[in-house]
Structure 1
């Protein structure tokens, strides 16, 4: 019996996360009502408060989930190639392409920095993926592929540029926008080579 209750609670939590994610991606944080999320899955507002404490708590959990998935997607693409330089390029390209995903665009790039605040959003981003970029850059510096320099500002510059480019791509109607952005990214990255 206890196992069934635990499974039911986890199923409710999972359903709330999925519905919350769908609504946050489609409508934006400010238009989502927690009671409507709960009702849509056949649950109660009380259950939503039990699992997440508030709409902000649900949003925070959704952001963490989307960031983790994006970090995994970027790492998976980078791991498809062996050369460390090409891994950096592949990971950056995967991040840019992810901007077409409504959840990434609306939840991570538009709403999360304002709803959670810049510091919390950056902290969550660093936990999920920014450290991978820093590690890749450290490795390239160690092998002499990139000239020796402080990694943290370089990682932040690249991350900021890619966030901005992903936002622009998400709004662009130009069918060549991603290819043009990838070419610009390659030129930017080539400028780092020793």
Structure 2
């Protein structure tokens, strides 16, 4: 029992050190950017040694990937909380959209996920992170809406990618001072534009 307790204590300390490094790196990456942050600053902020950093992460880029993964998961959690399965699909899409825009207004988050993320990790790796988190939430919402016939059936991967790009662009524009109301109005119009076109019966033939 004592040996098991010791293993658990070591595991807890290891997880705590890793969490401290991610927390410190996130703070510095969002305040200064990835390029302007050095590993000595990170270990000082975390209160650990450089050896501890390299025990958990191969390099600064690997630490950044962990930060981006955690940050993307946090955004997805806010979307999921705002759009529970109890909502009708169209309302869930709108609620999730609003939650995304709100989540991305956390200081430094747009730079971390939308600018530094692709630049540091590459587009493919960053897309993989997005697809595990925010894009996954969007994809599930779109699939539910298609099944409920609330939106037109379209190739879901392509639709997810294009809508996600629109939301990301809106988040960047709002961060730069653009009108949140204007961008939200356009995004809502895009979402509503996915509604199926009502079938129209052919016009009756004219008689002379």
TM-score exceeds 0.5: yes
Long gaps (5+) in structure 2: 1-5, 197-208
Q: C-alpha displacement at 1:102, in angstroms?
A: 2.2
Counterparts of 2:84 and 2:181, CA distance in 1: 21
> What is aligned with 2:95?
90
User: Are 2:89 and 2:150, in contact at CA under 8 Å, matched by a contact in 1?
Assistant: no
**2:68 maps to 1:63:** yes
User: Are 2:24 and 2:46, in contact at CA under 8 Å, matched by a contact in 1?
Assistant: yes
Give the alignment's TM-score, normalised by structure 1: 0.92
**2:58 maps to 1:53:** yes
Q: C-alpha displacement at 1:81, in angstroms?
A: 6.0
CA RMSD in angstroms, aligned pairs only: 1.5
Give the alignment's TM-score, normalised by structure 2: 0.86
User: Are 1:97 and 1:178, in contact at CA under 8 Å, matched by a contact in 2?
Assistant: no
Equivalent runs, 1:1-194 vs 2, <5 Å: 1-79=6-84, 82-172=87-177, 177-194=179-196
Long gaps (5+) in structure 1: none
Q: Which structure would you say has the larger Rg?
A: 2
Identify if the C-alpha distance between structure 1 residues 151 and 41 changes in structure 2 by more than 3 Å, giving closer, same or farther: closer
Q: Describe the superposition over 1:50-89 as per-residue Cα deviations: whole angstroms up to 9, x where unpaired.
A: 1111111110100000001100011111128611101001
User: Are 1:169 and 1:178, in contact at CA under 8 Å, matched by a contact in 2?
Assistant: yes
Q: Which runs of 4+ in 1 moved over 4 A?
A: none
Bigger mean CA deviation after superposition, 39-48 or 117-126: 39-48
Q: Where is the helix percentage greater, Structure 1 or Structure 2?
A: 1
Flag the structure with more relative contact order, 1 or 2, with Cα contacts below 8 A and sequence separation at least 6. Answer: 1
Q: C-alpha displacement at 1:185, in angstroms?
A: 1.3
Counterparts of 1:119 and 1:17, CA distance in 2: 22
